[in-house]
Amino acid sequence: MVLVDLGTGALVAEPEEPATVLEPSADHDALATAAGGNAGPVAILFPTFADGRGFSLARILRDRLGFAGEIRAVGSLIPDQSQFLLRSGFDTAEIADRDAAETWRKTLSLIGRSYQPSARNPLPLRWNASSEAAVELGRALAATDDLIERIKLTAEHIEGRVAFSTSAGLEDQVILQAIAKSGVVKAGADFDIFTLDTGRLFPEVLETIELSELRYRIRIRLVSPDAREVEELVSRDGVFGFRQSIDNRKSCCEIRKVRPLNRALEGAQGWIAGLRREQSQARADVPMAEWDAERGLIKINPLADWSDERLNDYIDANGVVVNPLHAQGFVSIGCAPCTRAIEPGEDPRAGRWWWESEDRKECGLHVAGSETSAESVAQGEKAA
Amino acid sequence: MYRYDEFDHAFVNERVAEFRDQVARRLSGELTEEQFRPLRLRNGLYLQLHAYMLRIAIPYGQLSPRQLRQLAMIGRRWDRGYGHFTTRQNLQFNWIKLVDVPDVLAALAEVEMHCIQTSGNCVRNVTSDPYAAAANDELEDPRVWCEILRQWSTLHPEFNWLPRKFKIAVSGAAEDRAATAFHDIGLRLVRGPNGENGFRVLVGGGMGRTPYVGQVIREFLPKEHLLSYVDSILRVYNLHGRRDNIYKARIKILVNAMGIDKFREEVEADWNATNKAAIDLPEDELRRIASYFAPPELPEQAPRDEALAARRESDPRFANWYRNNVLPHRVPGYASVVVSLKEPGRTPGDASSDAMDFVADLAERFGHNEVRVNYTQNLVLPHAALADVPAIYDALAGAGLATGNNELLGDMICCPGLDYCNLANARSIPIAKEIAKKFEDPERQTEIGKIRVNMSGCINACGHHHSGNIGILGVDKKGTELYQITLGGSPKDDASVGKIIGPGFRAENVPEAIDTIVDTYVENRREGENFLDTWRRVGPAPFKEALYGAR
Amino acid sequence: MPSVVTANRLNDGIVVYLAPKGAWTESIADAARAETDDELKVLESAAEIAVQDRIVVGVYPMPIEIKEDGTVDPISVRERIRASHRTTLTEDWYDVPL
């Protein structure tokens, strides 16, 4: 079996057997059963490439039944359908042989924009208009050096709710203060400021949050994971199960951070985060504003171009409330069991999941690749 | 008119690049003809009888002079200097080379045009009233909704591999000039219970092998839900339409097999389960699109022009043309002018590159830069000042484009037939020409009055024969072309499918048969009746008697 | 019934006929004729190779009539129109007996 990942165009190394294979004539009950199954891939059969029923089935699975697992297209398909598949909600497609893989990969990048909503783009017509809006906001942000001005620009450019997820780290504390100082919330902007309370936070983090609330007169919401999911996780993997394998660690992050975050971001039009290019190799290209197609919002990194030095100077000069852990050598602070202090000169994220290798250290909140960044859209246009 | 922004430009250019790649893969052997066919069809490229044919979408039949000139250029450079306007407001070139198609598409993209989904089992070009924003009986401009549907249906991820092709028409006026009842979905803008506009939605209309008049699936749909409702109709069709038999795959078959009530139930159930907000157009995007369709500034003028009146008195040919080809406009002192592509002896709907350039010039000089294509295969200058009408006439007359037969017998709708088309069973163009010759006398046509004569060269009914007051269908009977005649069809608000009047006629006898039918009508009609009135009153007997009585 | 093999050229779609020695011609007069089923099979397999070589598409055999003077006429109206390569803008086009 040769399987193409429609998101990346790459071949899937070790494809799982599908849990269900749906005929194109599958009725609603069959779909509901498949969607409720235990998370194995659901395959949808295309008897001929011209039989387009499978596209509707995938869309019902995704949009109506909320199926979040892998949807796989199997049967007779042609590479020129790759984007239709992807946008209808398929993740993978079974292809005839390895030789065809290159064509599949190529067709996935041929048309980079679409007019209508789809499983990938929850916005109405011309979602790329939003992507262009991200480019525009990115330009506007880059044009000013003043952080408070950047917050104001964000409030102006984004009509709906703007989410700000703070971890109470240095960057987030700087942004939080800037939001408070900018007065945008008082002026009526819809800002939703929250922390992901994973249940394993350092007490110092919670202290910092409370102090900030008092100092800046601003409310910070605590977003909790689904209690049932946490219980199931812990009973399956154990209290510190995340130390046993990367997969375990990732499902822990998924349940305690990623899903609560996604719930909190639902319906938001913008999402402010404290990513900086200097933080790590993986974040070296972080744009000031980018279109997150998966979540259907613009992600803003107002500190993207700030150096460590600038950050520290700003904190000193403006009396930003900081987490006392920083003084003990903690730099990037996540959950307590998965964060340690680092030595001077170590990579700032070296203290996270220190038992894992460098290139995998993302919790999943800020994964690049599936997103259409402002830069990649701009490059795509040039290439076309 | 709608102007492409960066998004549309980039999108169409990407599509050209994609097709360039597909053509290259076909020529290199990476794609077989079987694999390539659906891809080229989605770009309007057919392999016809003599050569490849390229069908270019003219969304809701609207063209700017710049676009029309580019079409003329394409005709000269890559074809044989002429094109054919179709009953779906498209333009077809008949002699395009496969290797040139990517360049042709690139030339089209330069003027914001494309061939996307002009064929294939997907949502086709959305058609509309050629007099939109000009007619004096209009409730709301239908083009805005056509454009919204165009964007929404373009490369729709879910609905690009339907059981069969899918045609949508929108009309916003009191009179249906878009034949909405003969479309897979017909949309009529109507006034709702609270005085707001919405859509009456028809579904399952169509011609072809099994003609049906569309049935009402929803009497009133709030405008803002158009996309989500159409989405649900298409989903029910995509999942349940027949795929085992190409002749039974259109939505009309599904609607009639299920019954309209059951079909409606399915659609409404799907619609109720739909997250409408995710599909329907947000207010500001609707406003953005609508803003492109602001009608031109037309300062009100005197409703009567003396020079024009005098010309009508003194020049009977002009008077005849004026009576038929100049239509009332919503703004006093203006008119819509029909540019006839129905000169006797010419192929109905054909226009040379020179003619296209010529009409483009006229639209710039007199027509506020707009040209429309009517599904009856004529061109229209929708906004002309009455005072300019004589000058427009003189110009058109010099170019053979001022035949004053709009909506008369000479204004026949005619498909390309066996002279071009791979599907055709019989020729239609030469028959149309012979009929035109028979009725060449304008006085006779005036005496007959408005009448719709439509002809198709095969059962697929591109010439809309089912909806002709007189319909002619070419069939192949044991190697000979034979022509069946149907009477009593109508594409308008009283939409109906014509009935076969009797045995078919050989080609050379068709003009005579039409003559007999027309005479029978004229003899039987009462004061104020049109063909349909008379037909519905007297029934087929006198026509049968006249046609076959002697046998 | 005598037959020829016809197709459309891949590059430009123009109607062509299989000629002797595997060549393709726009003129039906130059087409290779098959008098028997076996001869037709030979032509068809040559045409199949041309399909694979991407020279032509849509190959099919077509019955013809060989007239007394040795010239060839297609039997059906459709094929007579194809063989004539005609456009409706040709002035005399419907005066041609079809």
Looking at the DSSP bridge assignments, the partners of residue B199 are B189, B221
Mean pLDDT is lowest, of A61-70, C63-72, C80-89, for: C80-89
Residue closest to B224 by CA, chosen among B275, B286, B175 = B286
Q: Which pLDDT does position B372 carry in this prediction? A: 98
3-state SS string over B517-550? HHHHHHHHCCCCCCHHHHHHHHCCHHHHHHHHCC
Q: Do B18 and A78 touch (CB under 8 A)?
A: no
- SS3 (DSSP) at B8: helix
State how far the Cα of B487 lies from the Cα of B469, in Å rounded to an integer.
Answer: 6
Whether A378 shows a pLDDT value over 60: the answer reads: no
Domains and CATH numbers, chain A: 2-110 (no CATH), 127-380 (3.40.50.620)
**Do both B143 and B269 map to the same domain?**
yes
| Mean predicted confidence (pLDDT) in B215-230 | 96
Whether B479 has its CB under 8 Å from any CB of chain C: the answer is yes
Whether B106 has its CB under 8 Å from any CB of chain A: the answer is no
State how far the Cα of A353 lies from the Cα of A242, in Å rounded to an integer.
Answer: 9
Q: Which pLDDT does position A376 carry in this prediction? A: 31
State how far the Cα of C31 lies from the Cα of C43, in Å rounded to an integer.
Answer: 11
pLDDT band at A358 (very low <50, low <70, confident <90, very high): low
State how far the Cα of A267 lies from the Cα of A123, in Å rounded to an integer.
Answer: 10
Burial state string for B46-76 with b = 16 or more CB within 10 A and e = fewer than 16? bbbbbbbbbbbbbbbbbbbbebbbbbbebbb
In a domain, B126, yes or no: no
Q: Do C10 and B98 touch (CB under 8 A)?
A: yes
In a domain, B403, yes or no: no
* Strands of the sheet with B334-339, listed across from one edge: B62-63, B371-373, B379-385, B334-339, B326-328
**Do both B143 and B273 map to the same domain?**
yes
Question: Could you confirm whether A335 is annotated as catalytic?
Answer: no
Which amino acid is residue B47, in one-letter code? L
Domain boundary among B260, B291, B322: B291
| Mean predicted confidence (pLDDT) in B282-302 | 86
A218 against B251, higher pLDDT = B251
In a domain, B499, yes or no: yes
Q: Which pLDDT does position B189 carry in this prediction? A: 97
Whether A368 shows a pLDDT value over 60: the answer reads: no
Q: Do B281 and A50 touch (CB under 8 A)?
A: no
**Do both B425 and B381 map to the same domain?**
no
Whether C75 has its CB under 8 Å from any CB of chain B: the answer is yes
Q: Which pLDDT does position A374 carry in this prediction? A: 33
Query: Complex ipTM, two decimals?
Result: 0.93
| Mean predicted confidence (pLDDT) in B313-318 | 96
Segment of A9-13, A34-38, B496-500 carrying the highest mean pLDDT? B496-500
Q: Return the residue matching tokens 């040919």.
A: B317
CB distance B41 to B120 below 8 Å = yes
Q: Do B121 and A50 touch (CB under 8 A)?
A: yes
Q: Which tokens sit at A169?
A: 């780290």
**Do both B465 and B502 map to the same domain?**
yes
Mean pLDDT is lowest, of A96-100, B225-229, C15-19, for: A96-100
Q: Which pLDDT does position A135 carry in this prediction? A: 74
**Do both B331 and B473 map to the same domain?**
no
Of the candidates C13, C81, C85, which has its C-beta nearest B47's C-beta?
Answer: C13
3-state SS string over C24-64? EECCHHHCCCECCHHHHHHHHHHHHHHHHCCCEEEEEEEEE
| List of residues 6+ apart from B291 with CB closer than 8 A | none
Mean pLDDT is lowest, of A334-338, B115-119, B480-484, C11-15, for: A334-338
| Mean predicted confidence (pLDDT) in A25-49 | 91
pLDDT band at C98 (very low <50, low <70, confident <90, very high): very low
Distance from CA of A27 to the nearest CA of B (A): 9
State how far the Cα of B206 lies from the Cα of B256, in Å rounded to an integer.
Answer: 12
State how far the Cα of A189 lies from the Cα of A183, in Å rounded to an integer.
Answer: 9
- SS3 (DSSP) at A171: helix
pLDDT band at A136 (very low <50, low <70, confident <90, very high): confident
Whether B284 shows a pLDDT value over 80: the answer reads: no
Q: Which pLDDT does position B550 carry in this prediction? A: 59
| Mean predicted confidence (pLDDT) in B276-280 | 82
Looking at the DSSP bridge assignments, the partners of residue B63 are B371
CB distance B315 to B389 below 8 Å = no
Kind of pairing between the strands at A297-300 and A270-272 = parallel
* Strands of the sheet with A289-292, listed across from one edge: A221-223, A191-196, A162-165, A270-272, A297-300, A289-292
**Do both B383 and B432 map to the same domain?**
no
Tens of pLDDT along B331-344? 999 999 999 999 98
Q: Return the residue matching tokens 């993997």.
A: A237
Whether A293 shows a pLDDT value over 70: the answer reads: no
Partner chains of B (3+ C-beta pairs under 8 Å): A, C
Count structural domains, chain B: 4
State how far the Cα of B104 lies from the Cα of B36, in Å rounded to an integer.
Answer: 18
pLDDT band at A377 (very low <50, low <70, confident <90, very high): very low
Q: Which tokens sit at B269?
A: 């159930």
Rounded-to-10 torsion of CA C42, C43, C48, C52:
110
Task: Name the B residues in 264-303 with CB < 8 Å from any A CB.
Answer: 273, 275, 278-282, 285
Q: Which pLDDT does position A379 carry in this prediction? A: 32
Whether A330 shows a pLDDT value over 90: the answer reads: no
Q: Which pLDDT does position B442 carry in this prediction? A: 92
Tens of pLDDT along A38-49? 768 999 999 999
Tens of pLDDT along B155-177? 999 999 999 999 999 999 999 99
Q: For the residues of B225-293, what is the DSSP string, one character each?
A: GHHHHHHHHHHHHHHHS--S-GGG-SHHHHHHHH-HHHHHHHHHHHHHHS-HHHHSPPHHHHHHHHHTT
**Do both B89 and B199 map to the same domain?**
no
Whether B237 shows a pLDDT value over 90: the answer reads: yes
Q: Return the residue matching tokens 């102007």.
A: B3
**Angle at B208 (CA atoms; ends B206, B212), nearest 5 degrees:** 35
Distance from CA of C61 to the nearest CA of B (A): 15
Q: Which pLDDT does position A108 carry in this prediction? A: 81
- Report which secondary-structure segment, H or E, holds B207: none
Whether B258 has its CB under 8 Å from any CB of chain A: the answer is no
Mean pLDDT is lowest, of A196-205, A286-295, A340-349, for: A340-349
Whether A128 shows a pLDDT value over 80: the answer reads: no
Alpha carbon of residue B314 to chain centroid: 35
Whether C92 shows a pLDDT value over 50: the answer reads: no
Range(s) of the domain holding residue B380: 306-398
pLDDT band at B63 (very low <50, low <70, confident <90, very high): very high
| Mean predicted confidence (pLDDT) in B2-27 | 86
**Do both B146 and B278 map to the same domain?**
yes
Q: Which pLDDT does position B398 carry in this prediction? A: 93
In a domain, B116, yes or no: no
Residue pairs spanning A and B at CB distance below 8 A = 117
Tens of pLDDT along B128-154? 999 999 999 999 999 999 999 999 999
Q: Which pLDDT does position B393 carry in this prediction? A: 98
Q: Which tokens sit at B59?
A: 């969304």
Domain segments of chain C as ranges: 3-87
Rounded-to-10 torsion of CA A139, A145, A151, A154:
-10
Q: Which pLDDT does position C53 carry in this prediction? A: 95
Mean pLDDT is lowest, of A99-113, B393-407, B483-497, for: A99-113
A68 against B248, higher pLDDT = B248
DSSP H helices in chain A = 28-36, 53-59, 82-88, 101-110, 127-143, 147-157, 170-182, 203-216, 227-237, 246-253, 259-265, 308-318, 374-383
pLDDT band at B504 (very low <50, low <70, confident <90, very high): very high
Whether A294 shows a pLDDT value over 70: the answer reads: no
Task: Name the B residues in 323-352 with CB < 8 Å from any C CB.
Answer: 347, 350, 352
A287 against A122, higher pLDDT = A287
Q: Which pLDDT does position A348 carry in this prediction? A: 63
Looking at the DSSP bridge assignments, the partners of residue B168 are B185
Q: Which pLDDT does position B227 carry in this prediction? A: 95
Distances (CA, A) of C11 to B104, B231, C21, C57: 15, 38, 21, 9
Whether A382 shows a pLDDT value over 60: the answer reads: no
Distances (CA, A) of B243 to A51, A73, B256: 8, 19, 16
Whether A351 shows a pLDDT value over 70: the answer reads: no
Q: Return the residue matching tokens 């001077």.
A: A344
Mean pLDDT is lowest, of A332-346, B203-217, B483-497, C62-76, for: A332-346
Report chain C's C-alpha Rg in angstroms: 14
In a domain, B62, yes or no: yes
Whether A342 shows a pLDDT value over 70: the answer reads: no
State how far the Cα of B27 lies from the Cα of B11, in Å rounded to an integer.
Answer: 24
| Mean predicted confidence (pLDDT) in A196-225 | 92
Q: Which tokens sit at B178?
A: 């878009």
Cβ contact C–A (≥3 pairs, < 8 Å): no
Q: Which pLDDT does position A118 carry in this prediction? A: 57
Mean pLDDT is lowest, of A356-370, B168-182, B212-226, for: A356-370
pLDDT band at C38 (very low <50, low <70, confident <90, very high): very high
Distances (CA, A) of B46 to A227, B150, B200, B249, C50: 59, 21, 34, 20, 21
pLDDT band at A284 (very low <50, low <70, confident <90, very high): confident
- SS3 (DSSP) at B124: coil
Residue closest to B374 by CA, chosen among B91, B46, B153 = B91
Question: Considering chain A, what percentage of its residues have pLDDT values greater than 70?
Answer: 82
Rounded-to-10 torsion of CA A162, A163, A167, A173:
20
Task: Name the B residues in 411-470 with CB < 8 Å from any C CB.
Answer: 418-420, 424, 426-427, 429-430, 433
List the CATH number of the domain containing B279: 3.30.413.10
A280 against B476, higher pLDDT = B476
Whether A82 shows a pLDDT value over 50: the answer reads: yes
Whether C28 shows a pLDDT value over 50: the answer reads: yes
Q: Return the residue matching tokens 């929708």.
A: B382
- In terms of Cβ atoms closer than 10 Å to its own Cβ (0-12, 13-18, 19+), residue A376 is middle
Q: Do B158 and A56 touch (CB under 8 A)?
A: yes
**Do both B264 and B234 map to the same domain?**
yes
Phi, psi angle pair for B484, to nearest 5°: -90, 145
State how far the Cα of B19 lies from the Cα of B25, in Å rounded to an integer.
Answer: 9
- SS3 (DSSP) at A166: coil
| Mean predicted confidence (pLDDT) in B218-226 | 96
- SS3 (DSSP) at A185: coil
**Do both B277 and B140 map to the same domain?**
yes
In a domain, B117, yes or no: no
Q: Which pLDDT does position A375 carry in this prediction? A: 32
- Sign of the alpha-carbon dihedral angle for A71, A74, A79, A80: negative
Q: Which pLDDT does position A381 carry in this prediction? A: 29
CB distance B276 to B226 below 8 Å = no
Chain A interface mutation, best of B20, B161, B226, highest count of A Cβ atoms under 10 Å: B161
Looking at the DSSP bridge assignments, the partners of residue B14 are none
**Do both B285 and B193 map to the same domain?**
yes
Give the mean pLDDT of chain B. 94
Q: Which pLDDT does position A130 carry in this prediction? A: 57
pLDDT band at B485 (very low <50, low <70, confident <90, very high): very high
**Do both B29 and B171 map to the same domain?**
no
